[in-house]
Structure 1
Amino acid sequence: MTKKALYLFNPEHDLALASGETNYMAPASARRMASELALLPMWYAEEGSAVLAPSAYNLDYVKKIQELLGLSVDLITEPELAIEQDLDIRPWGWDVALRKRLSVLGVDEVLLPSMGQLNDLREYSHRSKAVALLPELQLNEYFCGESYYLKTPEEWKRFVEGRKECLLKAPLSGSGKGLNWCKGIFTSFISGWCTRVAASQGGVIAEPIYNKVEDFAMEFYSDGAGELTFVGYSLFHTGKSGMYEGNCLLSNEAIRKKLAQYIPSEALMDLENCLKYRLSALVGTVYKGYLGVDMMICRFPENEKPVFRIHPCVEINLRMNMGVIARFLHDRYVRPGSTGRFVIDYHPSEGEALQEHERMSATYPLEIREGRVYAGYLPLVPVHRRSCYRAWVLVAPDNI
């Protein structure tokens, strides 16, 4: 008998991984996000599986979505975890803090990864792995990208002072977090930051700044036995500081076509094949689940040819990610040929999220035909008066 898949959304995973502590306590904002967006996995969960979420205000929403779109996903609450003994647990990402949390809730040890496996996963999530992979992905003149793993104060100072601007990153950190934008001066603040990061994570990642025109990713699935499958493309937006803002809901073909305005399609296909091979060798037996490789299209001066090039490995995310959700949302629930947006947003004032939810519901009425969204606004989690976080899709009518 196959185990029941149980999905859970732990967006604090990157922060927990960076801390490495079994007793790690996420900031209140991350805990709130985990609670308010707990149902997000139902959109990528397999048929007949369950999602870990409080039932109080989620149950009505789940029933409504089951009727609208035919999803067959159940809810499991934390107290029920100790009773359900045959689960295949699939979190957003595995870390030692989550293992401890589930163990305390009564989940049988045999259903959890070992500490050794989790230590390996943390090691392979370290950005130094992406730094090492990057040179192997410079397949021809349509590729670019430099990244360095620097361990000493002399190296940090030389790198920062050697260019007008650059970016320093903590080797383990959440999306848009742990970044330091430098302007050619190695200040005491930057020096202190580097020292603290290196003390806990071994060093600092240093990169030049690129003239970015598109953010995109290639998404894969690793079966844990060395086999990697290409899942598709993700085209996304980030804010000025690098924080994730949302995904375009487009077919793989449409994303390829958009990227082919800059780069020959063959270069993308070559990269896809090369990554499948390289990642299989790197993490194929260490990690089971979805993973994404963030990339960008960069613009170079007109006198340098080619003007547009791919940075093929900005980072590797050994966890579920928003790009995979966007892929599932488009391919499962959006009318073929339609386009849309998938957004996670934050509203700090009480009542603001609900107000915006009601405004969008009225402005963009939801139209569903044959189990697919044809047009309109669809909230992906319930929104109530006290909500701060929303997850939603907006599908354009008639392919506008």
Structure 2
Amino acid sequence: MISRLFLFNPTNELAIANGQVSYMPPANLRRFESDLASLPWILSDEDDYILVTHKEGNSLKHLSDYGWKIPSIVTAPEEIPEKVRLIFSPWGWSPAVYIKFKRFYHLAAPTWHTHPLARWSANSAQLLSRETGYALLKEIELIRRNYPDKYSQVEIPYLPVEVSSTAKLSEEFQKTEPPALIKTQWSASGRGLFKIRDKKDNPAESDWIKGMLKRQGKLFIEQMLPKIQDVSFQFMIDDEIEYVGHNYFYTDPSGQFAGCAIGPPENSSSYFKDQAQISAALKQGAEIVREGLIRTEINKNYKGPAGVDGIFFINKQKEMKLQPCLEINLRYNMGLANIRLKKRIHPEARGAWKTGLFKQEKWQSFCKKKTQANPPVFEKGILRKGFLPMVSPDAEKLFGAWLDAE
């Protein structure tokens, strides 16, 4: 039997930047990984496994009580039958992740040894950096220019600018019209960003920017666009590149991930009312991103999930357009998780699922209060509406994840 062994390590980009197999995230991010360690159940099948540091607090019994088939939570290889062979599936790859899986290598499936990331190499870090996303964006722009009528809803107003010295950074800053972003090579989910809100935000004077430039070797300056709605295009990359769907998501004011929409997003913009235009843009976005991925020949060096983040924005002509590739995440991501989750939710349900920090209000009391106010309703194993904790509601957590559907 072939099963997957999942590991929730959303700090993998930080681990890549650090480069050490012994990398340990900051305390608050360690707690985030620990509190949400069981979250890959969304991506898993019943025969899969999720590796956690400790089982306490990571029970998924509240989900199995509703009749949902869920994977097994394990802490050691002895908990997996000897007949099982594993495909290793971390949230994201880094030099540090192999140490986590090392104890399970004797259970590896034969196909694992041919996986492009079965071993970490110098090329792996480059592959998983922002440079891959920018290479993809250039291919997409070439396609768009060659077929402007076919991709009429796609627009790429600016290409990112690479800087590798403080002198170049200062030079490009003088030519940049705020608002803009400076992005590090390895970062995701709204981390590793420096916002240029006005000309007072000089990145060349920032100690954080100087440190990142020294450690990572280069940075990227990217013009910010007037956002209407965040969207991602999700793919599974193997010998073929399969498009699996799009996802609407939300970010907080700092740009960090805040949640995913179930059904249409909550968006009051008058630009976001024309469903025919939105459908056309999504179709064009999915097609042009997939064609760009094919042209980069990414499947020669990577196999696994890929999420490409885009944005609906207002262009200079006051029209809504789609920029389909702000970045690519060669890893599991919340967008793919949301697409998988929708298979367990009634197609008419509307709402969002979110992650959040619980300091003032306790996670357990939050779950109890929300469940009483909006109890979950199931129809033949499908969630029709209600509040549903995505991780154990019976453990005290600093970070939680939950679904609210109507």
SS at match of 1:137: helix
- Calculate the TM-score normalised by the size of structure 2: 0.85
Deviation at 1:206, TM superposition (A): 0.3
CA–CA separation in structure 2 for the residues paired with 1:178 and 1:41: 24
Deviation per CA, 1:262-320, whole angstroms, max 9, x where unpaired? Answer: 8464443233222212213432122221110000011134xx2x611212211100000
Q: What residue number does 2:355 align with?
A: 344
Give the letter aligned to residue 386 of structure 1: E
1:9-48 equivalences in 2 (<5 Å): 9-48=8-47
CA–CA separation in structure 2 for the residues paired with 1:150 and 1:275: 25
> Once superposed, what is the RMSD of the aligned Cα atoms?
2.8
Give the letter aligned to residue 360 of structure 1: K
SS at match of 1:68: coil
Contact 1:134/1:145 (<8 A) preserved: no
Tell me, which stretches of 5 or more residues in structure 1 are unaligned?
Answer: none
Pair 244,197 (structure 1): closer, same or farther in 2 beyond 3 Å:
same
Q: What residue number does 2:287 align with?
A: 273
Q: Of residues 150, 156, 180 in structure 1, which corresponds to 2:169?
A: 156
Q: What residue number does 2:131 align with?
A: 128
Deviates more, 1:125-134 or 1:372-381: 125-134
CA–CA separation in structure 2 for the residues paired with 1:130 and 1:231: 19
Q: Is 2:374 the partner of 1:379?
A: no
CA–CA separation in structure 1 for the residues paired with 2:278 and 2:399: 39
CA–CA separation in structure 1 for the residues paired with 2:286 and 2:45: 25
Contact 1:3/1:87 (<8 A) preserved: yes
Pair 57,185 (structure 1): closer, same or farther in 2 beyond 3 Å:
closer
Deviation per CA, 1:49-76, whole angstroms, max 9, x where unpaired? Answer: 12223333434x33x4223133142222
CA–CA separation in structure 2 for the residues paired with 1:117 and 1:259: 46
Q: What residue number does 2:243 align with?
A: 230
CA–CA separation in structure 2 for the residues paired with 1:70 and 1:129: 37
Q: Of residues 324, 329, 342 in structure 2, which corresponds to 1:312?
A: 324
Contact 2:140/2:292 (<8 A) preserved: no
Deviation at 1:116, TM superposition (A): 5.1
Deviation per CA, 1:180-213, whole angstroms, max 9, x where unpaired? Answer: 1122246476454443223232211101121111
CA–CA separation in structure 2 for the residues paired with 1:81 and 1:313: 41
Contact 2:312/2:322 (<8 A) preserved: yes
CA–CA separation in structure 1 for the residues paired with 2:255 and 2:31: 21
CA–CA separation in structure 2 for the residues paired with 1:372 and 1:260: 30
CA–CA separation in structure 2 for the residues paired with 1:265 and 1:340: 20
Pair 363,109 (structure 1): closer, same or farther in 2 beyond 3 Å:
closer
Aligned length: 382
Q: What residue number does 2:268 align with?
A: none
Q: What residue number does 2:55 align with?
A: 55
CA–CA separation in structure 2 for the residues paired with 1:36 and 1:381: 8
Identity %: 25
CA–CA separation in structure 2 for the residues paired with 1:371 and 1:382: 19
Deviates more, 1:155-164 or 1:79-88: 79-88
Pair 145,337 (structure 1): closer, same or farther in 2 beyond 3 Å:
same
Deviation per CA, 1:99-142, whole angstroms, max 9, x where unpaired? Answer: 12322x45349667667555433212211222232233232353
Deviation at 1:77, TM superposition (A): 1.5
Tell me, which stretches of 5 or more residues in structure 2 are unaligned?
Answer: 266-270
CA–CA separation in structure 1 for the residues paired with 2:220 and 2:29: 24
Give the letter aligned to residue 330 of structure 2: L
1:26-105 equivalences in 2 (<5 Å): 26-53=25-52, 54-59=54-59, 61-62=60-61, 64-78=62-76, 80=78, 86-103=85-102, 105=103
Deviates more, 1:199-208 or 1:360-369: 199-208
- Calculate the TM-score normalised by the size of structure 1: 0.86
Q: What residue number does 1:324 align with?
A: 336
